Structure 1
């Protein structure tokens, strides 16, 4: 059995990231959410596009108002009203001001905005009751971004805030990496689909759906190939189909040492190079990792197909995916190196944690942030069996019990692998 960190390092070393030319495509801004940029984004627009007001008030010349006070206000003539979207028509002269609203263009001659709370208006005149700072409440053209500079760098996964920025600078076509294609198949004569009547001894194939959901969350495109019976020829045909169409293949079951565990021998028959057969982790000890040479149909010669033979137990499959598959998908997708590794946080355990100490153990539960702003981890109820999928619902973290540790007392600080967003506690 390989140590967890060694297995993780081997897997990342096998991944060949997407190529900026061969694996890029152009998408509309409306379809760019969740995509990874393959090239820098620039804009020919300054941001802000012009000097504008950050508040409702009056556009003035600082020299006219720098010495005013409530006792000795300055009185200015109002020569124009400037709402947002209006091009000012009058240049401000000494003794003049323009009424201006938030976001509106600054008029020529004005360099400062006095907010309306510090003024008093009487018909066509405004009394400035307090001296502002020079250039107060003026957002200058290009202060946030200058045209021609790098707006967003390659490797960024586009979220709502990036989409807002791109819309604001009118970047409507984007070069992104294509989504990784991930084939998913389940092995086992005992498996049935969720819509089939369940007979004694049968098990519903939840792995197909869970892994497809995880792949989608990670930005990939899942290809669900269904259930494959425990027959070598059927399995060989299914794996051949999977490596022909996908960048990564995930199979569940058939990688242990049982009489019907054929995956490893079929991989060898198909010309795969096996790199990992088991990892010192609990749950998830049986883990096969292999690579296939690039299929002949591929436009990107030289890139191999990465194969993960995951355990059949549902929790083991999920844990293996979070710990080993997710980093591989992140690297393949074009994300930067700092985003490849799983995210661990330090938290205080609210329960005793136990393990046999022989393997790195992951115990699932809820990670939250208390009112003091520190992380706390609450162990999920029920049995922590690798087959107990029910107890995995609503969890968002995996507490790590290192090799050699059999007991971590309640209240101790632990490492927690994030599998979702932390919750608020209290």
Structure 2
């Protein structure tokens, strides 16, 4: 089935349509419980609430003395107050006495505030004489007391569903004693490259042959994004071989990525085979450069009712990566259940002129650089040196951004601000 796929889609139209197709994994059916130690980088499938208050109890934010504010509110350099030190409370110990009028407790950072005390006086503002402490300035009421539940109350949401768990999140889960974490299962992405001219990098190169670099780059990008890459390798330009590869990927993966075979050449069979296999073709070309040939289709699920999302990327290495960054990467984030799915854009000055033919939205690859050492320099975009061509993989090295030259614009001057996609 073909769904208006012969139209030349704008980048924004294609992005919006792909977002509609990329339905997230089911938070109930597609989840697993993992030990906390194995949860880094995984996507949280359910909101986590804490059974504990944070802080767990009133505690001291300073080394000093726990006192009653009523005892010390009038003290000054001219009218010092002397209190009896009746106990010492290190962190991790339960106070054994309550503080009464005229008394203080020696206390350390993180220790529980004893009953009767409501204010901490930092030790730098005191003088110790034996079992007594002298105060010469009045503290603020409740100074340096971290009250129970002031950071977070028991039963309140602690971490929302859809976040990709980072180190600080694991620390929070550990503090909440959440040792089994509900996360989405890995999104499975099948990858293969098409073309009789392709050979793997460990095989001697013959005249006319090309090393398959796309499979390695796409697998790395999939893994960086928190999904499971299933690399099928190189598939020849044969209808039978391509059909078998697509069916096999359809059976094992949630998403299928192929590179090559989606243009209008005599050996470009992908779109034809997808239709034969009952796929709905949604997009076949997008008005971008590089990367105009782009097939987006949905195939019926095998073994379940979940459609398989198919992306047929161009074979040229730069075109393949650019279309992945622009369209596939945000779709994989959305499918994985991430709440922050989508392209990350910045607007920064360009260090050099940027050029385009004006007929398509054009992406210039390069690097966004951040100033070092606070010397007043501004964040800027630096296009990659050398010739920017969709087959020139070499100057794509260390690319971290794509500058967007809008449709109809032929030049953006050095120093002008440009919209860049962080990759």
TM-score (norm 2): 0.95
Query: Counterpart in 2 of 1:44?
Result: 51
User: After alignment, is 66-75 or 53-62 more displaced?
Assistant: 66-75
| Residue among 236, 240, 257 paired with 2:243 | 236
Query: Counterpart in 1 of 2:309?
Result: 306
Query: Counterpart in 1 of 2:121?
Result: 114
Between the aligned partners of 2:143 and 2:399, the Cα distance in structure 1 is 49
Between the aligned partners of 1:50 and 1:373, the Cα distance in structure 2 is 46
1:330 and 2:337 correspond: no
Query: Counterpart in 1 of 2:342?
Result: 341
1:270 and 2:273 correspond: no
User: After alignment, is 345-354 or 371-380 more displaced?
Assistant: 371-380
Query: Counterpart in 1 of 2:3?
Result: none
Between the aligned partners of 1:357 and 1:345, the Cα distance in structure 2 is 21
Q: 1:381-421 CA deviation, whole Å, 9 max, x = no partner? A: 111111222211112110000010111111111100011xx
Aligned residue pair count: 413
Between the aligned partners of 1:71 and 1:280, the Cα distance in structure 2 is 80
Between the aligned partners of 2:10 and 2:120, the Cα distance in structure 1 is 63
Offset of residue 349 of structure 1 = 0.8
SS in 2 for 1:161: helix
Q: Does the 8 Å contact 1:354/1:408 carry over to 2? A: yes
Offset of residue 55 of structure 1 = 1.0
Query: Counterpart in 2 of 1:356?
Result: 357
1:220 and 2:221 correspond: no
Within a 5 Å distance, the mapping from 1:235-254 to structure 2 comes to: 235-254=242-261
1:404 and 2:404 correspond: no
1:100 and 2:107 correspond: yes
Within a 5 Å distance, the mapping from 1:129-278 to structure 2 comes to: 129-278=136-285
Q: 1:340-386 CA deviation, whole Å, 9 max, x = no partner? A: 32111110111000000011000011112344485311111111111
Q: 1:31-76 CA deviation, whole Å, 9 max, x = no partner? A: 1111222212112111111110011111111111112223332111
User: After alignment, is 31-40 or 218-227 more displaced?
Assistant: 31-40
Between the aligned partners of 1:120 and 1:382, the Cα distance in structure 2 is 70
Q: Does the 8 Å contact 2:79/2:136 carry over to 1? A: yes
SS in 1 for 2:418: strand
Offset of residue 318 of structure 1 = 0.9
1:22 and 2:50 correspond: no
Offset of residue 327 of structure 1 = 1.6
SS in 1 for 2:29: coil
Between the aligned partners of 1:121 and 1:79, the Cα distance in structure 2 is 13
Q: 1:303-352 CA deviation, whole Å, 9 max, x = no partner? A: 2100000011111111111110112112211123xx23211111011100
SS in 1 for 2:139: coil
Q: Does the 8 Å contact 1:346/1:375 carry over to 2? A: no
1:90 and 2:97 correspond: yes
Q: 1:97-136 CA deviation, whole Å, 9 max, x = no partner? A: 1111111111111111111111111221111132111011
Q: CA RMSD in A?
A: 1.3
Offset of residue 7 of structure 1 = 1.0
User: After alignment, is 143-152 or 63-72 more displaced?
Assistant: 63-72
